[in-house]
Amino acid sequence: MQRKPWYRILYIQVLIAVALGILIGVVSPDCGKAMKPLGDGFIKLIKLLIAPIVFCTVVHGIASMGDLKKLGRIGFKTLFYFEIVSTLALVIGLIVVNVLKPGAGFNIDPATLDPGVTKTYVEQSHALGAVDFLLNIIPKTFLEPFVSGDLLQVLFISILVALAISALGERGRPFLQVIEQGSHLFFGVMNLVVRAAPVGAFGAMAFTIGSYGLGALNKLLMLMAGFYLTAGLFVVVVLGTIAWRCGFSIFRFLNYIKDELMLVLGTSSSETALPGMIQKMQRLGCAKSTVGLVIPTGYSFNLDGTNIYMAMAAVFLAQATNTPLDLKHQIGLLLVAMLTSKGASGVTGAGFVTLAATLAAVPGVPIESLALLVGIDRFMSECRALTNLIGNGVATIAISRWENEVTPETLQNNLRGTWKQEESTLEKLAG
């Protein structure tokens, strides 16, 4: 096979686009801000396909499973895994921020901060109550999830349709075939759209740097460095250990999903990589039913990066405003965050909104202090999204191994084969 030129490889194109975006944002901030439509347009194109792809994947996977007891078993194992790992992420975040103390000495007076800066996020956070969250899973109409893009609603509708097709038996087989063909169609459209990834990454990064500038980091650099370090350690140590127990290398897995990681890095949104992750998990050998259930559910219930961010940011704000936060209060913070982190599916700026909801439930920490983090939230969101994406990928493989759907040998062979390829899977499909 003839080697493809390096400049035609997707993830290299995205890396170059990100670097150019940073350069434009620094040299000409106004020009960088003007690039915003490029990033927004690409993200809208990807989100256009997420709902139908998830619907087709989940319906086909569950309806072709045949054993509904297996569905319940996988669902229980998935939620159990998510709760354990996401809680561990919160605990690690609390430990690191207490050791590093990035907010100590900031001495910020909350009265000097503009509450209007965070007003929108605070208002959104009030809608994250447990009852509202559960009721919101049920859409008003059958087509609403495909319009709003709410993944939990799409998952809810998909499961109902899949169960209905299963109940029809042989009469449901034609519907299943239509769903399968529809899946091929939407993945084909996605493989066309993904060719525009470098353009979207360039626009998103140029706007971010042009709007906030590298100077936005300033004294908050310590918090950012601590967060990136903690997220990196979580991926290598915690997720790496889970990967090792499942029979594969976390580093080889990161290479396998490098295209998706580059998409997330450029757009600061893990949703842009969802269709690609579904395809790649299936190619590793994970069952369609498991992939279709774990990946979409993980986008609401397994936000490892968001959990680390919430724990560290909340304590940082307490330190910065000289608010006493003893062990009892931090345990309360942990319990509240375990709930609020599950309620931000489909909310713009979900990480920031869940932080606002958490602070509102923790006595003492002034919610106005959120204004301190607005300037760097975009930079933090990239790390949140990357960690969330990796966590959901590892979770999918872990559940598949738990269900004996794939062997360590199969995983290693598939990952090793991808490691030796000269071009990525997405590049083959797109080129």
Task: Decide if 334 is inside a domain.
Answer: yes
Q: Average pLDDT in the 292-305 region?
A: 83
* Total of domains in the chain: 1
Q: Is residue 181 part of a domain?
A: no
CB 430 within 8 A of CB 7: no
CATH code assigned at 293: 1.10.3860.10
Instruction: Write phi, then psi, for 325 (nearest 5 degrees).
Output: -140, 90
Task: Express each pLDDT in 187-196 by its tens digit.
Answer: 888 878 888 8
Q: Answer whether residue 383 is part of any domain.
A: yes
Report how far residue 298's alpha carbon sits from residue 114's, in angstroms, rounded to the nearest whole number. Answer: 35
Whether the CB-CB separation of 333 and 311 falls below 8 Å is answered with yes
Give me the phi and psi of 422, to 5 degrees please: -85, -20
Q: Are 203 and 42 in contact (CB under 8 A)?
A: yes
Say which residues have a Cβ less than 8 Å from residue 271's Cβ, sequence separation at least 6: 43, 46, 47, 50, 299
Which DSSP state fits 2? Answer: P
Tokens of 216: 């936005």
- Tell me the pLDDT tens digit for each residue of 65-115: 666 677 788 888 988 998 899 889 989 998 998 998 887 877 777 666 555
Q: For residues 281 and 418, is the Cβ–Cβ distance under 8 A?
A: no
Q: Could you tell me the residue range of the domain that residue 421 belongs to?
A: 67-148+218-430
Q: Rounded to an integer, what distance in angstroms lies between the CA atom of residue 41 and that of residue 200?
A: 7
Any idea which of 59-68, 128-137, 282-291, 333-342 has the lowest mean pLDDT? 128-137
Residue 22 domain flag: no
What local confidence, expressed as pLDDT, does residue 306 receive? 84
Please report whether residue 1 resides in a domain.
no
Please provide the average confidence, as pLDDT, over all residues in the chain: 79
Q: Is residue 254 part of a domain?
A: yes
Mean pLDDT of 221-242: 90
CB 61 within 8 A of CB 291: yes
Q: How far apart are CA 204 and CA 262, in angstroms?
A: 13
Query: Would you say residue 210 has pLDDT above 70?
Result: yes
Residue 262 placed within a domain: yes
pLDDT-derived band of residue 420, with 50, 70 and 90 as boundaries? very low
Q: How far apart are the first and last CA of the chain?
A: 14
Is 51 domain-assigned?
no
Angle (deg, nearest 10), helices 327-340 and 68-100: 140
Mean pLDDT of 223-236: 90
Go through 299-333 and write b for each residue having 16 or more CB atoms within 10 A of its CB, e for each that does not. Answer: bbbbbbbbbbbbbbbbbbbbbbbebebeeebbeeb
424 conformational bin, left if phi > 0, alpha if psi -120 to 50, beta if neither? beta
Confidence check: pLDDT of 186 > 80: yes
